[in-house]
Chains A and B, each alone.
Chain A
């Protein structure tokens, strides 16, 4: 009995302290009553903004209003969103800094972006009322409420509403760096490929970012770019079926927010680089991770990854003991010819292209080790695939190389598929694969099948960033002709080498 009494007392004390906190906080807030359908609630934390009345998600009046409609209000400070949930279920979700809200999965423009003041989340009251199919809060329906701890405020009228602010009006002021120290967000480019969308945020300068995903079923993602200025007008665009919208805003004085709304739960990979941040949305895997941070510019790091598989768990940055050493792995060799068509063997094409890549990189001052320099097995003739592939990884792993790149020729059972594809598996591989794929796409006129995640042994067991390029399909007549061309192999080698160098400059 005493134990329960203590618990109840604690709860009452907590409630009392919370109320005192609200009253202390509500210095600039107002009490205003709202009458509807014969009911009446009092908003104790009402504040006026340029976009209309705002009310705290903690507000007792708001909670009473929602409760009367059979719902509840949740403020998730960690994920920075507010949910109004009804049985059914119907969810109205607001996200801090996002001037849109969702009813179910349908996006609606909000009167203003919800904001946080002193750890309290403020949301557009009239949007909530609109979602509940109630009349808006205005002077015509508001009535003065009796004071609680402060004099009764005047009801809000439209004449009190000023121009809409471009930033949250009550955001805590943060010391801002000099404008010339801020990175510049120069724009957003969205490219749609089959099964994926690549959104590239162009940034000049150095800085840090953080990303987070709202809790399912809300499929919104934010990437906050800190110490940055938006160098363009606010951006609103669509990006194919996988990304409903991409919005870019100056969130605060030195933070630019990129908000992605997805119509469904998709995999989102966020990769920093020297010239910005690349976000790849693909319909392959649904990730478990909800947030991450990193830096872009001259120092690129990422301390979290949305990839959920063991090989791609939150990345710890690989530090090579030989940062100037690159390992090139020509696929197959010796007793293993790889794919064969006519007199053309994969092992010979791979070796030739690999040698060309080596020569280009060496000419640029890199140290290059090849897993084989002639037609032979790396481990032993007629060995197992495991032993052979592990021997190739051992070449790179034992030397502490900067990266490993494996070169192959693809094959299919018919002549349909064609073009190049770059494979990765671990989280740390993706940036390398993207760099190489980008160069191949821009320097060769071949069909680019893009960057593909695949559990290939040689890249999975390399401790450093690793990628595998399937240069072309030996089974396709057009690709077959290209593979036989010395000049095309040289172009492919140049593109691969350029991609490798791009990666090293940003990682």
Chain B
């Protein structure tokens, strides 16, 4: 009697796990992402919704998540259309690669981002845009930043700190 109860509970647990897996792995892929651009006041964000490629047949959820991070990060770094006033990454900055590990996205930026003439307003606004954009994606709550494939403690201009993954609460 006792054993049958244990088996029943175990079966229930497995069924629940299977259902959870099914719904998370077959969740409808978002057809769009929101990119946040930081206004020149350095405080508030301009949200832009852009279309994104949905998950393709045969594409794993992990591969699609990685695509979304790369795509959204590239959009954030590229900045909004030229007629929109927003803080922008230094000219020439681009995303070298992006990956996802658990809830942490890692973005590798080209060395142009480390611009010595930039101040606190620039650096803070740039990374606020990047972090808010990526943490708006499902399952991402922090972003690690690399520069030219290396971990850096700070940027040279405004000394914005990059040695640990950034969260929204850093602003």
Contacts and interface: CB of A to CB of B under 8 A. Distances in A.
Interface stretch (B52-60, B65-73, B105-113, B149-157): B149-157
A56 to B, nearest CB: 39
A308 B169 contact: yes
A423 B167 CA distance: 18
Interface stretch (B14-22, B27-35, B38-46, B92-100): B38-46
B161 A460 contact: yes
A412 B154 contact: no
Contacts of A455: 124, 160-161, 166, 170-171
Interface in B120-171: 120-122, 124, 152-161, 163, 166-171
Interface string A437-464: 0000000000001001111111010000
Given A309-B167, A454-B171, A456-B161, A417 B40 contact: yes
Interface in A459-497: 460, 468, 470, 473
A308 B171 CA distance: 10
B121 A389 contact: no
Contacts of B152: 385-386
B171 A385 contact: no
A283 interface: yes
Interface string B74-116: 0000000000010010100000000000000000000000001
A195 interface: yes
Contact of A468 (B43, B85, B120): B120
A175 interface: no
Interface string A383-397: 011100100000000
Instruction: Kindly state the interface size class of chain A when it binds its partner.
Output: 35 or more
B40 to A, nearest CB: 6
Contacts of A456: 120, 158-161
Q: By CB atoms of chain A within 10 A, which of B88, B90, B119, B155 has the most?
A: B119
A385 B40 contact: no
Contacts of B166: 455
B43 A195 contact: yes
Given A308-B169, A389-B154, A453-B171, A410 B121 contact: yes
A413 interface: yes
A386 B153 contact: yes
Contact of A411 (B42, B124, B154, B157): B157
A220 interface: no
Contacts of B120: 408, 410, 421, 423, 454, 456, 468, 470
A413 B122 contact: yes
- 10 closest residue pairs by CB, A with B: A386-B153, A195-B43, A411-B119, A410-B119, A309-B169, A385-B154, A457-B161, A457-B154, A454-B124, A455-B161
Interface of B: 40-44, 85, 88, 90, 116-122, 124, 152-161, 163, 166-171
Interface of A: 194-196, 282-285, 307-309, 311, 336, 338-340, 384-386, 389, 408-413, 416-417, 421, 423, 449, 452-458, 460, 468, 470, 473
16 contacts: A195-B41, A285-B169, A385-B152, A385-B155, A386-B163, A409-B119, A411-B119, A412-B119, A452-B43, A452-B124, A453-B170, A453-B171, A455-B166, A457-B154, A457-B160, A457-B161
